[in-house]
Structure 1
Amino acid sequence: MNSNSEIKQLLQKFILNQCTPEETNEVIAYYKKNKLTDDFPSVEEVQTLLGEMPKMNQQTADDIFMNILASSKENETTIAIAPKKSNFRKHISIAASVIILLGVGFFYKQNLQNKTAEPKFDFKSTDIVLQLENGNVQIISEDNSVEVRDSKGNVVGNQNGNKLVYETGSDVEKVSYNTIKIPYGKKFQLQLSDGTLVHLNSGTTLKYPVKFIAGENRQVFLDGEAFFDVAKDKKHPFIVNADKLNVRVLGTHFNVSNYPEDAMTDVVLVEGSVGMYHTSEEFDAAKNTILKPGFKGSFNRGNAQISTKPVLTDIYTSWINGGLTFRNMTFKNIITKLERRYNVTIVNQNEKLANEKFNASFSDESIEKVMSYFDDIHGINYTIKNNQILIK
């Protein structure tokens, strides 16, 4: 991170709780290095920055602020907050940014002191990161080939290029998990130990067993978007946990989209059959929503209701081959998806445009082509400089 503009871009994402863990580490590292110099943005600059950004909703602001307070409590740091409740949400973003600027170095230092026995790792926000069951981190480079080993040194998987393949077999008694994190601007393929193939979209995290245990369900945990080609195994149902939604299958092809900015978790079924149900429930084929091929099931995170409708599945799976599709989506949500897809920062100063809804489909187009499209149909005023797009 070499310039003030770059750290400002990351601060935008940090304050809106959109940073990947790797980007968070970059902010922390930069703060530790420059907190006593003029290079680090001042609180006033952050306030100006926040004024240029779309207003975050009340719930998001509250969540970010409470998370920061929780972190401070865990590290025995006291932060005094004025008791004026009327100004709490009005200044929530600024308060969060001030705490980040003043406290993040201390939190990080405390975490290092508590984990001195753990190895240190250097990775960038553009790296694919694999966290092993013992907490160690391994960087996945698409132009490389590496072995993945468990805590005992046994080879459990092999990565070659854009695909990581785990060894088959179920000779373990205790489940252990790996977690893979795909950065903005990249996609990746993962073959699980049962033969299930998973296509992972940008900005996605998947937690999964290194090996599945005989007699138990095959369960993985998804944050983001993935297309699953599930290996058939009638004795061991495959379950995708997407926040408060479980998707249960035996063998099928389906897409799950579970990004934080969306009000719905969408499941699109290409082939086979899947059941959708709340994580607090037990699966019941007679009561739960059973999706048929060619249908999309949408889980409303607000009221936990599930609705279904027929769709053209190709629209929702085109991302695997570089496509990009928006259906009745607000421009502010489109911005988030463009940032994730192209690894850019977009600042929108046109609040009216933020709530406009669009339908659009793109093949494997550049960000310049996509922005040009929105300019053609809406006449937006924007500039692109480096990896930052400003919409006025």
Structure 2
Amino acid sequence: MNSNSEIKTLLEKFILNQCTAEETEQVVAYYRNNNLTDEFPTVEEVKNLLGEMPKMDEQKANLIFDSILSTAKDQETIIKLEPQKSNYRKYISIAASVLVLLGVGFAYKQGFFSKTADVPFDFKSSDIVLQMEDGSVQIISENGKVQVHDKNGNIVGNQSGDKLVYQNQTNSDKLAYNTLKIPFGKKFRLQLSDGTMVHINSGSTLKYPIKFIAGENRQVYLDGEAFFDVAKDKKHPFIVNADNLNVRVLGTHFNVSNYPEDAVTDVVLVEGSVGMYRSNEEFDASKNTILKPGYKGSFNKENASIFTRQVITEIYTSWIDGGLTFRNMTFKNIITKLERRYNVTIINKNEKLANEKFNASFKEESIENVMSYFNDVHGINYTIKNDQILIK
């Protein structure tokens, strides 16, 4: 860590509980090497503390920064700082020292780490929710029109129907994030400030900057599934973070599926080139997995391995037009995906079915037709009443 910007970035990741093991060691080493405290915890102790802290969003991290600063004013005498050091160093020194030594308990008492502080979202609801950078929410109606504002009241985006478009004229030199949450049974389109088009599948969330900043990577965070048509920009690589996997591109068309019930995160490349690598690593084209068009890369969530194979890409992108595909998938996972797609509740009383694997593809079919197929081909008996399906 040789610059203030590097220190600040790493400290922000630390408070957001996004540091890798190596980055955690760098934080500890920095504060020990600068003698900011003689009682700084060991790396192992810090990791244990982080393990107890739920991840936060940027807004809560800023709140903690502010609270630490206001609380630390009466404690500044316990921090050993040379008078000639800058206020910025003093700021991060107090923030980090108080956060690790005192701030975890303080933050819990103040409720900043409370999981209930996150905006609750019921994926079985009918509402598409846009969470703003300050934590406030805006309901998106697929039949309506909405203007999206930043914290200063400036218009940064416009929504019409099932599409939200962000502007690129916003005057900002700091990343500020919005998050789209798509409920079961719905899909949505999002155009980012650089012109990148994203199709977001049901039961998914995407966190993205209101505007990308010059000199910084274009990074977004995905839980669920989305198809990306990335605007070309050689100076600013586009990175999709899917938990422990990063997908890096310059301009291309690809699909990322990262649902929690799946053992792997799948990346299917339609056009261009993408690199797949673990999120705690730096991208290296000579070492990382590079996909070619027509290939699928699968990241094993358990052992972090990546394997590739050639596929028919249309099978994996058909959901954009209402299609539905299962490949060598257990029935219990199929149930989860059907519940998400059709916003229904499925109760399976046939336990033998749960771990059986199936292959099936559908175009834009109703849940009645899908269940009828499973009955006709695989002899699965069921009843449908309202939005509940009972498998006997």
Q: How high is the TM-score relative to the length of structure 2? A: 0.69
Task: Tell me the residue number matched to 1:204.
Answer: 204
**Displacement of 1:379 after TM fit?**
1.2
Distance apart, 1:135 and its partner CA: 0.8
Amino acid at match of 1:279: S
CA distance in 1, matches of 2:120, 2:352: 46
1:123/1:139 contact within 8 Å kept: no
Alpha carbons of 1:144 and 1:307: their partners in 2 closer, same or farther (altered >3 Å)? same
Instruction: Give the Cα separation in 2 of the matches to 1:268 and 1:376.
Output: 31
Q: How far did 1:123 drift? A: 11
Over 3 Å counting, the alpha-carbon distance change for 1:162 and 1:245 in structure 2 is: same
Counterpart-to-counterpart distance in 1, 2:171 and 2:242: 27
Counterpart position of 1:249: 249
Q: What secondary structure is seen at the aligned counterpart in 2 of 1:340? A: helix
Q: Which has the higher contact order (CA 8 A, sep 6+)?
A: 1
- Change beyond 3 A, Cα 1:249–1:120: closer
Matched, 1:285 2:285: yes
Deviation at 1:169, TM superposition (A): 3.8
1:376 to partner: Cα distance:
0.6
SS in 2 for 1:317: helix
1:378 match = 378
Identity rate, percent: 77
Q: Deviations over 1:121-176 (max 9, x none)?
A: 99981100000001110000000001000111000000000000000146421100
User: What's 1:185 paired with?
Assistant: 185
Q: Is the 8 A contact 1:163 1:191 kept in 2?
A: yes
> 1:70-89 to 2 correspondence within 5 Å?
none
Q: Distance in 2 between matches of 1:315 and 1:124?
A: 26
Q: Aligned with 1:358: secondary structure?
A: strand
Within a 5 Å distance, the mapping from 1:27-46 to structure 2 comes to none
Q: Secondary structure at the match of 1:215?
A: coil
- Number of equivalenced pairs: 286
Query: Does structure 2 retain, via aligned residues, the 8 Å contact 1:171–1:213?
Result: no
Which secondary structure state, in structure 1, belongs to the residue aligned with residue 368 of structure 2?
helix
Describe the shift of the 1:259–1:118 C-alpha distance in structure 2 as closer, same or farther (beyond 3 A): closer
CA distance in 2, matches of 1:214, 1:296: 31
> Does 1:357 find its partner at 2:333?
no
What is the one-letter code of the residue matched to 1:155? I
Q: Which residue pairs with 1:315 in the alignment?
A: 315
1:175-214, CA deviations, whole angstroms, 9 ceiling, x for partnerless residues? 0000000000000000000000000000000000000000
Once residues 301 and 198 of structure 1 are traced to their aligned partners in structure 2, the CA distance between those partners, rounded to angstroms, is 24
- What is the deviation of 1:378? 1.5
Q: Where does 1:1-392 land on structure 2 (aligned, <5 Å)? A: 125-169=125-169, 171-392=171-392
Deviations 1:35-76 (A, max 9, x none): xxxxxxxxxxxxxxxxxxxxxxxxxxxxxxx99x99xxxxxx
Q: Deviations along 1:238-269, whole A, 9 cap, x unmatched?
A: 00000100000000000000000000000000
Contact 1:170 1:212 in 2 (8 A): no
Q: Please list the CA deviations of residues 91-127 of structure 1 after superposition, one character each: whole Å capped at 9, or x if unmatched.
A: xxxxxxxxxxxxxxxxxxx989x9xx99999998110
Secondary structure of 1:309's aligned partner: strand
CA displacement, residues 356-392 of structure 1 (integer Å, 9 cap, x when unaligned): 1111000000000000000011211211001000111
Closer/same/farther in 2, CA of residues 170 and 237 from structure 1, 3 Å limit: farther
Runs of 4+ that moved beyond 3 A: 117-124
CA contact (8 A) 2:123 2:182 kept: no
- Partner of 2:320, secondary structure, is helix
Larger Cα-atom Rg: 2
The AA in structure 1 aligned to 2:338 is L
**Alignment RMSD, CA only?**
2.8
Relative to structure 1, the CA distance from residue 122 to residue 339 in structure 2 (aligned partners, 3 Å threshold; closer, same or farther) is closer
Task: List runs of 5+ in structure 1 lacking aligned partners.
Answer: 1-65, 71-109
Classify the secondary structure of the residue corresponding to 1:376: helix
